Amino acid sequence: MSKELAYSIGSTFPPLTPGIVRLYSMRFCPYSHRVRLVLAEKNIPHEIVNINPKKRPEWYSDIHPAGLIPCLQFDDGRIVYESVITTEYLDAVYAEKKLISSDPYERARQQMLVDSFQRIVALLFKALKFKDPEAFNEICKVLDHYEKVLSDTFFGGKDVGFTDLMIWPWFERIRSLKSLLNNELDKERFPKLTTWIKNMTLLDSVKKTSVRQDHLIVFTKQSTTSAEPDYDIGLEKPKEEEPAPAEEPQSNPE
């Protein structure tokens, strides 16, 4: 049975592994994807525990006060959540391959680019949920700014950095617009972004953490039409329809 199956109501807390950082995640969540990218890029030994956000395990409320993902848990009890805070924390503690510039203005410039990207997050949701073609036009208008400021291989220079990893998850999702909205980024309008996308797909961290497009498309369709999408699309599931990886199966599942 796949270890990626989402933990759900009725499951048992999986004990921590000493020396290993644990990421509470959801396979299709772009914010979790940010942290998975950072863990992969910095080669931080970690394990992933997927959570069903609609049927959160009871034990998860002891870990994150509002029950959100992503969230990191360390074997000494430290908890860090919110994707940007988590990234800054990991970058400070695992300092070998720095993602964030130590220059305060360059750091602020990168943070502002990541913060402004929230407009695209909202517009992409609108485009996908309401099949709104105007939202796609708005996304392109915001992306004009990113096309303009991109002046090197990556947003921070020759090496992949903070901005690249923080905005990448949505570019994997923008790709799904081709299938869902019959729309895609115009290579002539976005020549630099088109090259940047190609550079990103060549990175090991991007390859390792990539969400399969066919699964993502099915999930996006489900999550924009159903209150209970399948968080385990494409995984081998337990035979009985009991709550996912409960280690002590209930004798009387509902």
Q: Give me the active site residues, please.
A: 29
Q: How far is the CB of 183 from a copy of itself (least distance, A)?
A: 23
- CA count, 13 A, side-chain hemisphere, 112: 9
Q: Which of 145, 178, 208, 237 binds a copy of itself (CB under 8 A)?
A: 145
User: What's the 3-state SS for the chain?
Assistant: CCCCCCECCCCCCCCCCCCCEEEEECCCCHHHHHHHHHHHHCCCCEEEEEECCCCCCHHHHHCCCCCCCCEEECCCCCEEECHHHHHHHHHHHCCCCCCCCCCHHHHHHHHHHHHHCHHHHHHHHHHHHCCCHHHHHHHHHHHHHHHHHCCCCECCECCCCHHHHHHHHHHHHHHCHHHHCCCCCCCCCCHHHHHHHHHHHCCHHHHHHCCCHHHHHHHHHHHCCCCCCCCCCCCCCCCCCCCCCCCCCCCCCC
User: Candidates 29-37, 55-63, 106-114, 240-248 — which segment interacts with a copy of itself by CB under 8 A?
Assistant: 106-114
User: Of 225, 16, 6, 27, nearest to 128 (Cα)?
Assistant: 225
User: Candidates 4-12, 53-61, 99-107, 170-178 — which segment interacts with a copy of itself by CB under 8 A?
Assistant: 99-107
Length of the chain: 254
Q: Which of 59, 85, 130, 212 binds a copy of itself (CB under 8 A)?
A: 85
Q: Is 138 in the site for a copy of itself (CB under 8 A)?
A: no
Q: Which of 15, 45, 104, 158 binds a copy of itself (CB under 8 A)?
A: 104
Q: Which of 81, 136, 155, 170 binds a copy of itself (CB under 8 A)?
A: 81
Q: Which of 111, 183, 213, 224 binds a copy of itself (CB under 8 A)?
A: 111
User: Candidates 27-35, 101-109, 156-164, 172-180 — which segment interacts with a copy of itself by CB under 8 A?
Assistant: 101-109
Per-residue contact string for residues 1-40; x = within reach of a copy of itself by CB under 8 A:
----------------------------------------
Q: How far is the CB of 79 from a copy of itself (least distance, A)?
A: 9
Contacts to a copy of itself from residues 152-171, by CB under 8 A: none
Q: Contact, 211 vs 42, CB < 8 A?
A: no
Q: Which of 21, 26, 39, 80 binds a copy of itself (CB under 8 A)?
A: 80
Closer of 81 and 219 to a copy of itself (Cβ): 81
- Residue 11's φ and ψ, nearest 5 degrees, are -80, 165
Q: Which of 1, 20, 92, 122 binds a copy of itself (CB under 8 A)?
A: 92
Residues that bind a copy of itself (CB under 8 A): 65-66, 78, 80-82, 85-86, 88-89, 92-93, 104-105, 107-108, 111-112, 115-116, 119, 145
